[in-house]
Structure 1
Amino acid sequence: MYRVTYYLKSSSYRSRSYSSENGALKAIWKWLREKPEADHAICLFPECEPRTIDDWRELPFVEPKPKADFYSSTKWLRIRALALEKYGARCACCGATPADGVRMHVDHIKPRSIHPDLELELENLQVLCEACNLGKSNLSEKQWRD
């Protein structure tokens, strides 16, 4: 068992056990990085002397890269524009247009969560108003367009 005691600048502390050394060190790294009130942590690991860690930079971890947002990607914006050009800015379900005061969405007929291989296929896209698209969610694979 890998035991860590976390100390705050206010002199209060708490202890926690971890099943692996890497898990304990990663938790310390995150805690020291994210908590301004953090002071230091003391590690009690099997067959090792107690170790005090005062700064997250002492540990060999790096900040995870944020995931790229699919809907902000150049590829998606390009295929979305093609879908609007090909199918028009009219809801394939109810016929509403921006002139009716609705927001238009380009919908995946077969949802990305189930068919990620079709996320950039023009034939898998249809134009829906916001209400129809949100009502559909990813439960239906109904193709409304002609």
Structure 2
Amino acid sequence: MTVRVTLKEDSKHIRREYKTHARAIGALGRWFNNNKGIAILYQPGQEPVVYKGKHELPAQKVKSRTNFYRTKAWRELRLSVLLTSDGRCKICGSSSEKGAMLHIDHIKPRSLYPELALEKSNLQVLCEDCNIAKSNKDS
């Protein structure tokens, strides 16, 4: 779905396209921060909506900006996994003694299984090369 927007300020007209409604609304909020005018939002199969200011935009959910990997829970679990491992990459067998940088990997990726993010049984030790080579489709 493509969402089209026309921005009108004085005699200037700017047209833009966005992949989602949420992105369009976010962009309109930023535009209204620095401009005065109107914005017309066109969505397929719906009547155009006219906004005259930021206060008229629909409220959006704010995503949490907490970095998971900096949380106390993750750091404690990560240390626990490292201390109880044999200090070798589960895939290739490299160790830090041989210069490998060891990572703690989510076997089932966080992006697909967020409920397993802090589940010790879902973690494994991988070297940096193996971890980078593994995508979120591998498990």
Q: TM-score, normalised by structure 1?
A: 0.60
Q: Which residue of 2 aligns with 1:29?
A: 29
Q: Does 1:67 align with 2:65?
A: yes
Q: Which residue of 2 aligns with 1:115?
A: 113
Note closer, same or farther for the CA distance 1:40–1:116 as it changes in structure 2 (3 Å cut): same
Deviations 1:68-110 (A, max 9, x none): 2222221111111110011143212222122323221101122
Number of aligned positions between the proteins: 122
Q: Give the deviation of 1:14 after TM superposition.
A: 2.8
Q: Provide the aligned C-alpha RMSD in A.
A: 3.7
Q: Distance in 1 between matches of 2:136 and 2:25?
A: 39
Q: Which residue of 2 aligns with 1:6?
A: 8
CA contact (8 A) 1:28 1:41 kept: no
Q: Distance in 1 between matches of 2:118 and 2:32?
A: 41
Note closer, same or farther for the CA distance 1:103–1:6 as it changes in structure 2 (3 Å cut): farther
Moved more, 122-131 or 85-94: 85-94
- The unaligned stretches of length 5 or more in structure 1 are 17-22, 142-146
Which residue identity lines up with residue 99 of structure 1 in the other structure? Answer: E
Q: Give the deviation of 1:4 after TM superposition.
A: 6.0
Q: Does 1:40 align with 2:42?
A: no
- The unaligned stretches of length 5 or more in structure 2 are 17-22, 41-46
User: How many percent identity over aligned positions?
Assistant: 34
Q: Give the deviation of 1:119 after TM superposition.
A: 1.6
Q: Which residue of 2 aligns with 1:130?
A: 128
Q: SS of the residue aligned with 1:40?
A: coil
Q: Which residue of 1 aligns with 2:19?
A: none
